[in-house]
Chain A
Amino acid sequence: MEVLGRGGRIEQAIRRVAIGLTLSAFLGPIVLIVLTSFKTRVAALESSPFALFQPTLTNYVHIFAEYSFAHFAKNSLIASLASTLIALALGSLAAYGLARYRFRGRGGLAYWILSLRMAPAIASVIPLFIMLRQVHLIDNLAGLILVYIGANLPLVIWMMKGFFEDLPVDMEESALIDGASRLGACVRIALPLVAPGLAATAILTFIFTWNEFLFALILTGRNAQTLPVAVTLFVRETGIDWGYMTAAASLMMLPMVICTLFVRRGLTRGLTLGAIK
């Protein structure tokens, strides 16, 4: 776009200001929440948001001591990591099959997997709730992980399919001719070459699972509850205690911010399911 010219000095200054305003519009609310989490509950609600305050860690201490933040964080972490890893393993193999082999119904299968990704979550959560209830896996982390594997597979398959298709086929062919098995060609030759893509897919899947709300809301109770649901319960139990709430929100945002720093390159592809690279 620099082809269109970078404009004169005045125009450049205006543009810088506009970019600055845009960035503060996106960053401002996040900063506000983090700052508020260091205020006492009285200061959080009663003083002006712009007033100076004495920072305190009480809110953080309290959400761990009174609201078992660690318990819910552990659930979130286990559910996200386990479902990401399993979906990644199953999905990568399937993606390799779709990318490297020609068979009847291949295109149809790929689009059908894509359509699963687009289906409304509320439609699958109703039958999943009834099914998990039958097998006594409601409010059980294993049940939630199972559901998340199903929800993550389409994304993993589509992202990894794109990464495999970008890979020149020669090296795998050589390996096959030299006597490697098909699985060997996939795991030992192709997989290391798509490692960056694999990492991007893993991070993105982790983010989606960490942020997931509807399944967790319906399929878990206190025992297997994850952070997004737990944090909405803070709201109900205490009226809204903004001190606690913002502390919990800040801690939930932290891993996502870190993930964002690492995933920027694979992000566009992941979010558009490979339509834009």
Chain B
Amino acid sequence: MQRSTTNPGTTERQRRRDAAGFDMPGVRPLIGLVEPRAALFLLTPAMAALLLLSIFPFVYSLVLSLHRWNLSNRAQGWSFVGLANYVRILTGDPFFWSAMEVTVVFLVVTIALEFVLGLGIAVLVSQETRALGAIQTIIILPMMITPVVVGLIWRFMYNPDRGVINEILGAVGLPGPLWLGSARTGLLSVVIADVWEWTPFMALIMLAALQSLPREPLEAAIVDGASRRQAFVSIVLPLIRPAIMVALLLRGIDAFKTFDLIYVLTQGGPGTSTQVLSLYTYKWGFKFFEMGYAAALAYVMVLIVDLAATFGIRALDRSGNG
């Protein structure tokens, strides 16, 4: 956006601009000058809203996490417990660690599958020139419809009795598992639904990256006799690396926070086989009403997301893409 001052087309404007900047009080060029007051004026309404609706709640929640407070017990007020909630989470709460394990397994498996499938679909589709718009629209539908509805769709299809999935398995002579009803297949079922919902996200980003590739290096490689596979691995993949990292980072953070889908599919069950951290925190807050402990659990999650985002963004900056 930096304009060259020597560009002949802008000399007149430049002259007037400079003149205006010095001669007319209150009128200054937009770029390059420190204008805290103008910026403040534009930013204040939004910042006030964020202060009230985001910052204050986060500070409040931090304070709350240092207390014990059961909302359902009217007689009991806040009692300060220091770091006791955090100590208990990290050392005395096996359910936290089991939720952490479920979350990590869910995250790693879904992201890996979504990435591989998404990249595959993007490559497949990008070679198609006709109807690309229509194809793209259909592909992104699963992630645009309400996540709760996605959950209900899959619950319907997983139904062991006359559900469409077991109908199909039965037609080819395979025994249908219980899907959501069994601790052995519960997490797998949730993973499949999530992959259906979010592979489109990966595909969309990979497709955008593939379409913005410069033609020259690829053409040069092909002229030099590289096979299509070689060209893809040694030229295309490195070029779309920043996009891949953005997609993995954003999807990873979202998968870490997953709530809606699992709430509708299994509520964390059977047992605790699909109980992810969001759901576990929700239970402490809004089933047991232990607000202090729930706030501490939530803060652990905030911290993890924050670390992941910080390292992720730094890695992106290093790879040369802001």
Residues of A bordering B, CB below 8 Å:
1-7, 15-16, 18-19, 22-23, 25-27, 29-30, 32-33, 36, 45-50, 90-91, 93-94, 96-98, 100-104, 106, 109, 111, 113, 115-116, 118-131, 146-147, 149-151, 153-154, 157, 165, 168-170, 172-174, 176-177, 179, 182-183, 185-186, 207, 210-211, 213-214, 217-218, 227-229, 231-232, 235, 240, 242, 245-246, 249, 252-253, 256-257, 259-261, 264, 267-268, 271-273, 275-277
Contact = CB atoms under 8 A, between A and B. Distances in A.
Interface of B: 1, 3, 10, 13, 16-17, 20, 27-36, 38-43, 45-47, 49-50, 52-54, 56-58, 60-61, 64, 71, 121, 123-129, 133, 135-142, 144-149, 152-157, 159, 161-164, 167, 196, 200-201, 204-205, 208-211, 213, 215, 218-219, 222, 228, 231-232, 236, 243, 246-247, 250, 253, 256-257, 259-260, 263-264, 278, 281-282, 285-286, 291, 294-295, 298-299, 301-302, 305-306, 309, 313, 316, 321
A101 B16 contact: no
A29 to B, nearest CB: 5
Given A129-B286, A211-B148, 16 more contacts: A23-B139, A26-B138, A46-B162, A97-B42, A98-B39, A103-B35, A103-B40, A109-B43, A113-B50, A120-B298, A125-B285, A126-B298, A127-B58, A177-B20, A252-B146, A276-B243
In the complex, the 10 A-B pairs of residues with the closest C-beta atoms, listed nearest first:
A150-B53, A97-B42, A94-B46, A127-B57, A123-B298, A101-B39, A1-B126, A127-B61, A228-B148, A127-B60
B57 A256 contact: no
16 contacts: A90-B49, A97-B39, A98-B39, A121-B259, A123-B58, A124-B61, A127-B60, A130-B60, A153-B49, A173-B17, A176-B27, A182-B41, A231-B152, A271-B250, A272-B250, A275-B321
B35 A213 contact: no
A147 B299 CA distance: 19
A30 B222 CA distance: 41
Contacts of B148: 211, 213, 228-229, 231-232
A180 B58 CA distance: 40
B181 to A, nearest CB: 13
A150 B52 contact: yes
B166 to A, nearest CB: 10
